[in-house]
Structure 1
Amino acid sequence: MKLEFRLATLVLESIERKRISFDKAYNRTLRKKFEKKEGFLYNVYELAWNSILKSYLADYIYSEVFKGRKLNIRRQCALRVAFYLVAYNRMNPETLAMYSGGLIKKELLSFLRMVYREDVEGIVADLPFDRKLSILNSYPLTLINSLSRFMKKRELEKFVKSQNRKTMWLRVNTVKIDVDKAIRSLEKEGVYVSQDKDYPYLLKITQCRKIVGNIRLVKDFRVIPMDKASAVVVDVLSPSRGELILDATAAPGIKSSLILQLTEDKARVIAVDLSRNRLYQMHKIINKLGVKNIDILLSDARKVKIRNVDKVLIDAPCSNSGAIRRDPALRLILKSKPKLYEHVASQRSILDNIVNNIRFRIGVYATCSVIPEEGEKQMARLSDILNIVKVKSIGLEGYRGYLNYDKFSRLFPHTHDTDGFFIAKFKGR
């Protein structure tokens, strides 16, 4: 347990210092030192993950007990891991202190003894609804306040609590393997799935005691981790053979590759991204996925000039507030209000450039976001010059109160068991 505790602490610290995803922080922390110890790897992964899910409560109770005192980042992260182990795994604080490698000093040990005795969730029972919901579910208060404009309390609570259920989707790469064979191969690895009724090439993991990235079929690129919401976006685009399609913000290429998979590599994709490193990684991924009809272009979607295409996919950079269930690091990153809105200006610039400078028949704009500033508001701004088309998908309508809200589509984890997503469709001028 000593090593698991320290590594889980370092995963959280990496997220706090570098503002990176959970999987990236985990992989950087372990750096393949323990790649043969599957059970150990899984335990560290789950401990770090679950500690983040209780991190707001740990931080709140500590701040109430030790008013005005602040911990450095590493000790704060150690506190969160220790809090989860003591409050929810009922680990003895003295035993844990011995495993902590000096991270739990006398003051923190006394705090953990109190946690061990108390009903920790009862401590926040008298707080206002929104703050209590945020703390108990480690979900950003700013997001709760934003969503409360569009959801009643009961639905909002259901939505926030759904973020704590880990649902993982896999896309079968039918270029390399058929669905039935993929299911059988996964079961041999101890990974059990259910086939999606809307998109038969999608599988929802129902039982798995492995890190998804360590599944053999994932390593071989025969199945690809891909949330169902992303498949819905490509479905709304409705790619066909022979079409020239611009993927304006393409890296790492998962949606581009699905376009080619669905058209049996008979469409042509121009995949644009402004990061040389991301495009390098995308090139490697595309090659391993087995699709070929793609041109990768280093350019900025805010400035790129391409004369004529049939369709445009704008899966814009965003807050990723819709992916909190899939990436718990976002619970820590998005606690800061400015982080929620830092991509709004670039979304506006991308839309303006593509709408005004590229000829196309159909465009799809999508964000993995639950806030209207990255969805309905962006499209409302262009309503005078765009012909908005009603999205036909499994999703719900957009947020009421915005122009054309009934033509947009929104996906939610508590309703669709997907990431939170906004999707709009429009005709070119």
Structure 2
Amino acid sequence: MSANNKPTARSLAVQVLVANEKNGTYVDLLLENDTHVRTLASRDMALLRELVFGVLRNRSFLDLHIRNYIRRGYDTFDVKIKNILRVAFYQLLFLDRVPDYAVISEAVEQAKNTGTGSQAKLVNGVLRTFQREPWKPELSSAADLQEIAEYMSHPLWLVSRFVEQFGTEELLPWLKANNRIPVTFLRHLHAQEACMDPELQSTDFDGYFAMPAGLRLQMLKGWQTGRYIVQDPSAGLAVALLAAEAGERIIDLCAAPGGKAVALAKLVGPEGRIVAVEIEKKRLGKIHENVTRTGAENVEIVQADARTVELDAADAVLVDAPCSGFGVMARKPDIRWLRKPEDMRALLRLQRHILHNAAGLVKPGGRLIYSTCTTDREENEMMVTAFLQQHREFALESAGEFVPDRFVTERGFVRSWPHLHGIDGSFAARLVRRK
């Protein structure tokens, strides 16, 4: 706390990280719902987000540093003390603009607030020793998967799963990409119009602009007038693969936050219709926000379970399946720590049920697009292969006609990789129902 007892960005960062680690609540929700966070000035908000996301992207790398200065017992430390030390080490290692004395002073004060002087003494001793005797871990070329996982701040089970599916050649580039600060992309919904915000940066992706660091959405004329949505180009690949035509009726299952639904609404035009289906009430609100702000009047929002919803058959159905999120770990770094191996079975079962129900919502001759934001092969290629074996009325159509070749695999699926394409990892398949 500061002198006036108002939480600082650093103290709030520790608070958010503790709640994330202890309760399993995603940091996006914690930041969105905390009343103190909402009162922060924009500069302090930027620091808070830098600290929270920076620690999560580098958590076990920071722990390697801390353990070097603690003889034993770090694993048994209270989660708050761990995160006080992590936030402090992150600043000392990565943020030149924050004076070391300020970092150490506030970390010690936070430790005092835990109620024991010994904790404050420990924090002070560890940080002062690091100042005097800096140490940096090195990753040798002979490192095993455990060492790689710790150094690159990913759980061992996830690193092992990647190697089992894809081998070791792409492992380090993929891990490094997951630890970078991702670009925020805006999709221009009126591609025929010139961009009205010169601050935005052009990109290699048609219809997409990049947000410079420090620029707020509310400052943009195009945002205020509903010209843009926040959408990574990887998400746009599924929209392109669907190839919506004017006047079509399209069902978007698991539609929140509504970016794909809004983009499709522009493509089908006023004579077309998008039925956006979402089960969670709070996530429905996100769809409403995007639809209202962009003026997408041809979007119908339905609260229903994608596994069981009954609707009239559509020209196309988009399944934006709930998934592990392994393709967006740079953007949502806590996924790697909150997701557990035992979660995968339930996720795979959920995806199968949604796909099975979606099949019955497609007209003969229509398209079913299955898309995820994960790199995991079991959720992607293997899921589609199993579906086609059970649903002989569908056939895989190559993505080559609809998206750039660099995103098309040998089997005709869509894949994007953060380390190869500079965008989120994603997958999509175009399945056509026989007439």
Short-chain TM bin: 0.7 to 0.9
Query: Tell me, what secondary structure is at the counterpart of 1:424?
Result: strand
Q: Within 5 Å, which residues of 2 pair with 1:119-198?
A: 119-122=135-138, 125=140, 128-166=143-181, 167-174=183-190, 178-181=193-196, 183-184=197-198, 187=199, 192-194=200-202, 196-198=203-205
Give the 3 Å change call, closer, same or farther, for CA 261–307 of structure 1 in structure 2: closer
AA partner of residue 342 (structure 2): P
CA contact (8 A) 1:245 1:311 kept: yes
Query: Tell me, what secondary structure is at the counterpart of 1:282?
Result: helix
Distance in structure 2 (CA, Å) of the matches to 1:61 and 1:390: 48
Give the 3 Å change call, closer, same or farther, for CA 171–283 of structure 1 in structure 2: same
- Does residue 296 (structure 1) correspond to residue 310 (structure 2)? The answer is no
Distance in structure 2 (CA, Å) of the matches to 1:341 and 1:115: 43
Query: Tell me, what secondary structure is at the counterpart of 2:164?
Result: coil
Distance in structure 1 (CA, Å) of the matches to 2:111 and 2:397: 59
Corresponding residue for residue 126 of structure 2: 111
- Alpha-carbon offset, residue 40 of structure 1: 1.9
Query: Tell me, what secondary structure is at the counterpart of 1:78?
Result: helix
Aligned counterpart for 1:390 among listed residues 392, 395, 398: 398
- Does residue 333 (structure 1) correspond to residue 338 (structure 2)? The answer is yes
Distance in structure 2 (CA, Å) of the matches to 1:323 and 1:179: 30
Q: Within 5 Å, which residues of 2 pair with 1:14-413?
A: 14-29=19-34, 31=36, 33-35=38-40, 37-62=41-66, 65=70, 66-67=72-73, 69-89=75-95, 91-92=100-101, 94-100=104-110, 102=112, 105-116=120-131, 117-122=133-138, 125=140, 128-166=143-181, 167-174=183-190, 178-181=193-196, 183-184=197-198, 187=199, 192-194=200-202, 196-199=203-206, 201-205=207-211, 207-210=212-215, 218=223, 221-334=226-339, 336-356=340-360, 358-360=362-364, 361-384=366-389, 385=392, 386-392=394-400, 393-394=403-404, 395-397=406-408, 406-413=411-418
CA contact (8 A) 2:413 2:427 kept: yes
CA contact (8 A) 1:260 1:266 kept: no
AA partner of residue 48 (structure 2): V
Query: Tell me, what secondary structure is at the counterpart of 2:312?
Result: coil
CA contact (8 A) 1:7 1:29 kept: no
Q: Which runs of 5+ in 1 are unaligned?
A: 399-404
Deviations 1:208-237 (CA, angstroms, capped at 9, x unpaired):
224657767546644222111011110000
Distance in structure 2 (CA, Å) of the matches to 1:314 and 1:98: 49
- Alpha-carbon offset, residue 20 of structure 1: 3.9
CA contact (8 A) 2:306 2:354 kept: yes
Corresponding residue for residue 13 of structure 1: 18
- Alpha-carbon offset, residue 279 of structure 1: 1.9
Distance in structure 2 (CA, Å) of the matches to 1:355 and 1:318: 19
Distance in structure 1 (CA, Å) of the matches to 2:26 and 2:218: 14
CA contact (8 A) 1:245 1:309 kept: yes
- Alpha-carbon offset, residue 78 of structure 1: 1.8
AA partner of residue 19 (structure 1): G
Deviations 1:77-106 (CA, angstroms, capped at 9, x unpaired):
222112212334472575344453625522
Corresponding residue for residue 402 of structure 1: none
- For normalisation by structure 1, the TM-score amounts to 0.85
Distance in structure 1 (CA, Å) of the matches to 2:331 and 2:193: 26
Distance in structure 2 (CA, Å) of the matches to 1:372 and 1:419: 16
Deviations 1:342-390 (CA, angstroms, capped at 9, x unpaired):
4211100011122246535111100100111211111111223231111
Give the 3 Å change call, closer, same or farther, for CA 418–277 of structure 1 in structure 2: same
RMSD of equivalent CA atoms: 2.8
Query: Tell me, what secondary structure is at the counterpart of 2:54?
Result: helix
Q: How many residues align?
A: 409
Q: Which runs of 5+ in 2 are unaligned?
A: 3-7
Distance in structure 1 (CA, Å) of the matches to 2:190 and 2:92: 46
> Percent identity over the alignment?
23
- Alpha-carbon offset, residue 153 of structure 1: 3.3
Query: Tell me, what secondary structure is at the counterpart of 2:147?
Result: helix
CA contact (8 A) 2:146 2:156 kept: yes
